[in-house]
Structure 1
């Protein structure tokens, strides 16, 4: 390197004013002979670059070795492009001194051509750019910080918009990573009637928050001032806190925090709480930082207001639903029940689905599942009225068809323009017979003792409230001990993405799964089965409809046999009841293991019942009992029909053309024993049949 001035490109000497101008601005010059690869510069250029004697041999390779490893390839590419194009180039680069110190340099050069148009020399200037580069680095850092803050606001807004409940908002706020403002503590508090409620905190011990939770804020507290003025309060140091708020300095003086930001939460013009952001060092927040925190406070306020409204609506809906549905399911000997209610994932999470378990006269049990049209508070209100009415009709002892018909008339009389679907089933707890009536609702599903599951068809009628004079048909089916019947609403088996057939197939598959035996689980296996069925439904956030679910398992008497007694009252005007009693007697005898007595017993029982109904004006009581003799393994069936008439039966000998009078003759001829006994008021007619033993089948 030389410290002499460079000749101009035209060969003229350097103007006298150029050297003082370059010296005043700290600019050095260089000249690189491209063909000989010799690089020379004046003393200012050497000082700016940091060249020391002995470290530089005037070659381009030696110059590049002085540069920072990240900058050398950039300078090389730009110089090579300028040489190839006979153009200009320039760049910032960093040089590394012997002791590892770095300095920033900027150069600008131009390639000159010889008489043949070939690249011959590069001449140019260099100057110290450390201050300039620092300014650019700081500008880059500020631009990056602004970008991070903008991204943070977007991410915070997204996270807070997805927060549904107050707890979600508190969790999101206390986990926010503030860009460039690493706080040591975050607190979210709501205000109600002048008291603050701590919703969430990070960086604070529980005992620190307990002092303020659900307490009145002192008027001189910075949080109270922020809420009162609806403006942020920023405190840069402990001294500033002590000077501005001496009344509340005491509890704060023992902490290690040195700066605070109290952000009021204002929604719809009303202050609903405050956010606290604290730091463990003195922090004079600049305008951008204060704007960031104020914006964050606004986002949290809007999310908190929305979440509080959601929680209030959810609590209202849940409370209303709890009132409308049975608080507890009654315990009835001989059967086990399990119920579930799952609210839809949208709206008020309240609707018209309901279930009920009704104890009936004679120890029987009624099962109800239904769904009122609609998914709102109005539907829930109608559901509550209909549930109570249907429960009352069932508890009065009306047969299933009458219960459903009366419920339909009741709903029609309400004049609500709503209808309801419903399935009602009366279960004979003595021997597991189910009498089901369906009003536009889903069929029951039965899980048999061997684990197989199938839909049980039930004769259907119109939904309740559509045709007040609708007559409903009863479908009868039987359960063996340990078998389960399931009633549900359509939300369990039908959705926009699943048709009814697919839903029932999936439900049957779930029900058919292995169920732990009684005693193997701490819970009743029926409860586990109810949980498994409920879990197959869609997640609550996706569920489109409410789900009501009712399971009943007929446990039967101890030992697995049906109770060997059948007792029924038959109304004097209820002739259809005679056919029902005959059917119940048939099922009972098959279950008791004396199926060979079915035909005879049914015929003779029908004769006695018909005789009592026809010749009296009172109800009759039918009773069938099976006795077993342990020594002979014989079974004896005794059937009794009681009435309150003093008229004694007379055995007649009817003529060939007579249409009546053969009842007692049949009883005498086919029974093993029969008789009539007085009962004080009325009488008891009976007959007995003997069987050799339990039916092998």
Structure 2
């Protein structure tokens, strides 16, 4: 408190007061009192504070004189009724600096946490100060500071400007408007998207002013785009959508001058803006308030409040509408930034997750990803389905702990790494050992849970490893459901290899449900309860797997889609309350029919290649694949010959008929086959070049006791159709 100013007792001991000094306004005009009344109520409401005050400059005495005060603590500002220009109080500092000022602490002893002040500027310079007592914790945020600047601008203009339209009775009292103002402030503070802002404006601005129409537009690229409306037919909105700023005189006038326009009748708008007569004739309204939406010192859009009948706008109504538009402008700017970030985040998420899951001979899969609540809508959950040689399928689902752009980027790195390691065809436990190193290198505080599995349709085995992740749920063809009994290792980044490798034997048509903990865990249930509920849903929805014809595959996918939707609806009924991302991957597996696979053991001597050709020739004719006999004989001869010359036994040959013809040769060596570049005089070294030329693709994978070299060939059209 400044020296010489008397102290006061507690707030409870002091009498309540309201508008003690309105008569002190120098001009003494009724509209000045109305301007101050509205402005001070606005400031108190905006700050959620204890009161507000307006000071006028007394240039002869070099001091600030209290002109008006309002709020529960209005009487408490009497010790500051006069402030010399050498004092250190917030109103004086704001005037001295010519800018918004915040002074923390309870200088008046009224229970405030601080005082804000904003200079009032007229046409010839500063004329006073607008000040408010803040009750909440900390300094007001940028939205409230910008609103205070807007109110200060209007008060400065209103106290010296010409009288406006004579006041007329409004449809709602000033007290009711103040309540609606408070509600609008809360609604805009909670608004996230542009649509949220539009709904809040429609809900809280129309009724207090008796309005029945609203258009909220943003200015982008010199054009106006409608982002929210009420009370207008779609035909009219289509006409005004995207209209150039220069083509709309009314809007151009408002935007260029940053001054609202109040049109009280259709005759007035025809007179003032004759070039827009054709557009205005389409409007069902008779009176309009065109309010510029300001944010960060620029016009970002327009709020048009309209009425079905002509009406006069009182000075109070004009001030209220301008004050409301200041709040709306800040909220809309924040919402637009969110919308842009949201769009970029969604684009990032779409780029990181699979665009579509493949429907493979051994598996059909459907997935869902649901980001947490109303945030950036990206996170660290991911899933993928990857085809492997011999119709095997790799499945992965994981969760980088945390939520946001950083976690999404880490997820993208892990997904890329998993795909790369899956192409090397290494088992799940070894893949996790390498992935664990990658997670540890990202950051000491980065962790990820993960499930990686490989389904072999010939052996009917599901091999998987768990790193801190929920285990798979198995739905058998007979409808029984159980959770795989496997103890997970710690999450990636916190684990130490080796990782456990678990195996399940699956029947044809078995369904698997893989999920992240965000799907089954919430504030109202733990993971075990969520897993039990998921098992119940899967048991109720389980149906016998259809036969894998083309039409029935489509039916199976539709069934899996419906099942995913049912699971999500049951476990996550309110997405707004989600506090973690959720991922779900549902897979139906298919085992290879015995008639589509055959194998032979071959001797480790030069006779092996001839025997292999005989076996191939006979089997392909049985499968009605005579067109592939010659090519397959060449491939098998080369692969078996390489084993006899460069590797060790035993030698094993296997053919697999599916959407392609797969030929596999197994041996007991771990040597790596590689294509050489022989010279013209070399007698060998061209075998793998021949293999690469004759097959669609080829490769090698390594087993515990050796390796397998495989090739794939496209089936003839008639065989593929069959």
The separation in 2 between residues aligned to 1:351 and 1:569, in whole angstroms, is 50
Say whether 1:555 aligns with 2:590.
yes
Partner of 2:562 in structure 1?
528
Q: 1:373 to 1:238 in 2, by over 3 A?
A: closer
**Highest Rg: 1 or 2?**
1
Would the aligned equivalents of 1:459 and 1:475 in 2 still touch at CA under 8 Å? no
Find 2:258's aligned residue among 192, 216, 230: 230
The separation in 1 between residues aligned to 2:558 and 2:506, in whole angstroms, is 19
Larger relative helix fraction: 2
Deviates further, 318-327 or 500-509: 500-509
Question: What is the CA deviation profile of residues 90-111 of structure 1, one whole-angstrom value per residue up to 9, with x for unaligned ones?
Answer: xxxxxxxxxxxxxxxxxxxxxx
Question: What is the CA deviation profile of residues 153-191 of structure 1, one whole-angstrom value per residue up to 9, with x for unaligned ones?
Answer: 334344444443222333443455734643353221111
The separation in 2 between residues aligned to 1:503 and 1:256, in whole angstroms, is 53
The separation in 2 between residues aligned to 1:295 and 1:168, in whole angstroms, is 19
Partner of 2:276 in structure 1?
248
Q: 1:642 to 1:372 in 2, by over 3 A?
A: closer
What does 1:137-216 correspond to in 2, within 5 Å? 145-174=173-202, 178-179=206-207, 181-216=209-244
Would the aligned equivalents of 2:287 and 2:309 in 1 still touch at CA under 8 Å? yes
The separation in 1 between residues aligned to 2:571 and 2:601, in whole angstroms, is 43
Partner of 1:373 in structure 2?
401
Find 1:565's aligned residue among 594, 597, 602: 597
The separation in 2 between residues aligned to 1:238 and 1:490, in whole angstroms, is 60
Question: What is the CA deviation profile of residues 254-284 of structure 1, one whole-angstrom value per residue up to 9, with x for unaligned ones?
Answer: 6564432101111232211111123344322
Say whether 1:542 aligns with 2:577.
yes
Question: What is the CA deviation profile of residues 496-549 of structure 1, one whole-angstrom value per residue up to 9, with x for unaligned ones?
Answer: 432222222222112211335546969632222222222233321111111111
The separation in 1 between residues aligned to 2:365 and 2:396, in whole angstroms, is 12
The separation in 2 between residues aligned to 1:309 and 1:568, in whole angstroms, is 65
Q: 1:528 to 1:249 in 2, by over 3 A?
A: closer
Find 1:479's aligned residue among 487, 506, 514: 506
The separation in 1 between residues aligned to 2:171 and 2:441, in whole angstroms, is 72
Q: 1:397 to 1:291 in 2, by over 3 A?
A: same
Q: 1:268 to 1:222 in 2, by over 3 A?
A: same
Say whether 1:354 aligns with 2:388.
no
Would the aligned equivalents of 1:267 and 1:305 in 2 still touch at CA under 8 Å? yes
Partner of 2:647 in structure 1?
617
Q: 1:331 to 1:496 in 2, by over 3 A?
A: same
The separation in 1 between residues aligned to 2:535 and 2:570, in whole angstroms, is 11
Would the aligned equivalents of 1:461 and 1:470 in 2 still touch at CA under 8 Å? no
Q: 1:417 to 1:562 in 2, by over 3 A?
A: farther
Q: 1:569 to 1:401 in 2, by over 3 A?
A: farther
What does 1:502-517 correspond to in 2, within 5 Å? 502-516=529-543
- Give the CA deviation at 1:142: 7.7
Aligned residue for 1:443, secondary structure, equals coil
What does 1:70-85 correspond to in 2, within 5 Å? none
Q: 1:209 to 1:525 in 2, by over 3 A?
A: closer
TM-score by length of 2: 0.56
Q: 1:514 to 1:568 in 2, by over 3 A?
A: farther
Partner of 1:292 in structure 2?
320
Q: 1:181 to 1:302 in 2, by over 3 A?
A: same
Partner of 2:455 in structure 1?
427
Partner of 1:260 in structure 2?
288
Moved over 6 A (4+): 141-144, 519-522, 612-616
The separation in 1 between residues aligned to 2:514 and 2:283, in whole angstroms, is 61
- Give the CA deviation at 1:436: 0.9
Q: 1:424 to 1:331 in 2, by over 3 A?
A: same
Aligned residue for 1:199, secondary structure, equals strand
Aligned residue for 1:366, secondary structure, equals strand
Question: What is the CA deviation profile of residues 458-493 of structure 1, one whole-angstrom value per residue up to 9, with x for unaligned ones?
Answer: 3533432345x6122311111112211221111122
Say whether 1:273 aligns with 2:305.
no
- Give the CA deviation at 1:354: 0.9
What does 1:426-445 correspond to in 2, within 5 Å? 426-445=454-473
Question: What is the CA deviation profile of residues 387-421 of structure 1, one whole-angstrom value per residue up to 9, with x for unaligned ones?
Answer: 11111111222222222222222333445642222
TM-score by length of 1: 0.58
Would the aligned equivalents of 2:472 and 2:483 in 1 still touch at CA under 8 Å? yes
The separation in 2 between residues aligned to 1:625 and 1:389, in whole angstroms, is 31
Q: 1:256 to 1:409 in 2, by over 3 A?
A: closer
Question: What is the CA deviation profile of residues 314-363 of structure 1, one whole-angstrom value per residue up to 9, with x for unaligned ones?
Answer: 21221111111111112211322111111111432221111111111221
Aligned residue for 2:524, secondary structure, equals coil
Find 1:345's aligned residue among 361, 373, 387: 373
Q: 1:497 to 1:181 in 2, by over 3 A?
A: closer
The separation in 1 between residues aligned to 2:493 and 2:187, in whole angstroms, is 46
Partner of 2:527 in structure 1?
500
Partner of 2:113 in structure 1?
none
Partner of 2:53 in structure 1?
none
Q: 1:167 to 1:569 in 2, by over 3 A?
A: farther
Question: What is the CA deviation profile of residues 587-641 of structure 1, one whole-angstrom value per residue up to 9, with x for unaligned ones?
Answer: xxxxxxxxxxxxxxxxxxxxxxxxx999983475545799xxxxxxxxxxxxx99
Would the aligned equivalents of 2:444 and 2:493 in 1 still touch at CA under 8 Å? no
Q: 1:497 to 1:250 in 2, by over 3 A?
A: closer
Say whether 1:309 aligns with 2:344.
no
Partner of 2:474 in structure 1?
446
Partner of 1:387 in structure 2?
415
